[in-house]
């Protein structure tokens, strides 16, 4: 069982509070997974052996991505949600607590400038009337609204709990991701190749919504992350940029466009 957070000294001095909401965080378990003692870059959180920062490219998109993130995901260096924020500067990240919804998120959900969609499968009948497709995103654009993809960032079990235990999501349309993409994520073992990680979900949503350039940049950045982290696990330094890395460097003007493949 969790200890009483009110007795946590980090809460008393403000260190144990979520910076977005000010609410007390659950006690954080020390990260002791393999690689926890590796020297990491403060910018990208990857091992400094294969730092990702040189390949970061920022861009804009017509649709925005808001991440509703389980608290434990913040402490996992293999989390791919942060890649979205690295590429899309308008990305917002909200920490999910069952009894303490983020007030900033609640306010934004009432903001008429936005058309939010919860990204979730349509595999249960009790919310079938809320399910929409990509044409609803296009209609939002025609109404001069900013489409927002609310992606639940956590394990599949955590995501189902967040979806079911967040009443403020109940009135929002549910947009299932329909894609033939197979996951290329190599840092966690998925239950199925059809189970995409958070960054891959965002990539496919952006692509289907017409934000092709943003999707391609995020896709290359995800590949660079995947390769960098996987190589660091075996203490192997990537000496020559991969094709995805070269494309990102080319966008920065640091690699000839004719030599990106």
The DSSP bridge partners found for residue 147 are 115
Mean pLDDT for 165-188 is: 92
CA-CA distance, 228 to 242, in Å (whole number)? 10
Answer whether residue 220 is part of any domain: no
Contact yes or no for 43/85 (Cβ under 8 A): no
Mean pLDDT for 57-73 is: 96
Answer whether residue 197 is part of any domain: yes
pLDDT band for position 4 (cuts 50, 70, 90): very low
Residue-level pLDDT at 30:
46
**How many CB atoms are located within 10 Å of the residue 100 CB?**
13
* Helix, strand, coil % over all residues of the chain, rounded to 5: 40, 15, 50
Answer whether residue 228 is part of any domain: no
Residue-level pLDDT at 14:
47
Residue-level pLDDT at 16:
59
Contact yes or no for 211/61 (Cβ under 8 A): yes
Tokens of 88: 């899309």
Which of 107, 19, 15, 91 is closest to 59 using CA atoms? 91
pTM of the model: 0.84
Answer whether residue 124 is part of any domain: yes
Answer whether residue 248 is part of any domain: no
CA-CA distance, 220 to 56, in Å (whole number)? 10
pLDDT band for position 2 (cuts 50, 70, 90): very low
Tokens of 250: 């080319």
**Domain range enclosing 204:** 59-214
Mean pLDDT for 22-40 is: 58
Segment (H or E) for 214: helix 212-233
Q: What is the CATH number of the domain that holds 156?
A: 3.40.1280
Answer whether residue 140 is part of any domain: yes
pLDDT band for position 38 (cuts 50, 70, 90): confident
**How many CB atoms are located within 10 Å of the residue 213 CB?**
13
Answer whether residue 219 is part of any domain: no
Instruction: Report the domain count for the chain.
Output: 1
pLDDT in tens, 204-225: 999 999 999 999 999 999 999 9
CA-CA distance, 100 to 102, in Å (whole number)? 6
Tokens of 248: 């990102």
Answer whether residue 105 is part of any domain: yes
Mean of the per-residue pLDDT values of the chain: 87
Residue-level pLDDT at 9:
42
Segment (H or E) for 206: helix 198-208
């Amino acid at each position: 069982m969790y200890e009483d957070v009110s007795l946590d000294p980090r809460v008393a001095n403000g260190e144990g509070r979520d910076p977005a909401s000010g609410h007390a965080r659950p006690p954080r378990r020390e990260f002791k997974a393999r690689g926890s003692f590796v020297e990491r870059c403060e910018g990208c959180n990857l091992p400094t052996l294969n730092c990702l920062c040189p390949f970061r490219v920022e861009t804009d998109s017509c649709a925005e991505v808001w991440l509703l993130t389980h608290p434990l995901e913040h402490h996992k260096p293999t989390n791919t949600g942060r890649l979205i924020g690295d590429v899309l500067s308008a990305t917002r990240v909200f920490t999910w607590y069952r009894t303490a919804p983020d007030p900033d998120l609640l306010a934004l959900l009432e903001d008429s400038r936005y058309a939010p969609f919860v990204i979730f499968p349509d595999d249960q009948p009790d919310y079938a009337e809320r399910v929409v497709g990509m044409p609803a995103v296009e209609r939002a654009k025609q109404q001069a609204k900013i489409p927002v993809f609310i992606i639940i960032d956590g394990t599949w079990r955590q995501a189902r709990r967040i979806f079911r235990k967040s009443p403020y999501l109940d009135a929002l349309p549910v947009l299932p991701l329909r894609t033939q993409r197979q996951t290329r994520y190599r840092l966690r073992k998925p239950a199925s190749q059809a189970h995409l990680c958070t960054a891959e979900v965002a990539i496919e949503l952006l692509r289907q919504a017409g934000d092709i350039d943003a999707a391609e940049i995020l896709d290359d950045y995800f590949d660079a992350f995947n390769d960098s982290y996987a190589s660091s696990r075996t203490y192997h330094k990537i000496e020559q940029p991969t094709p995805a890395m070269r494309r990102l460097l080319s966008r920065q003007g640091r690699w000839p466009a004719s030599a990106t493949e």
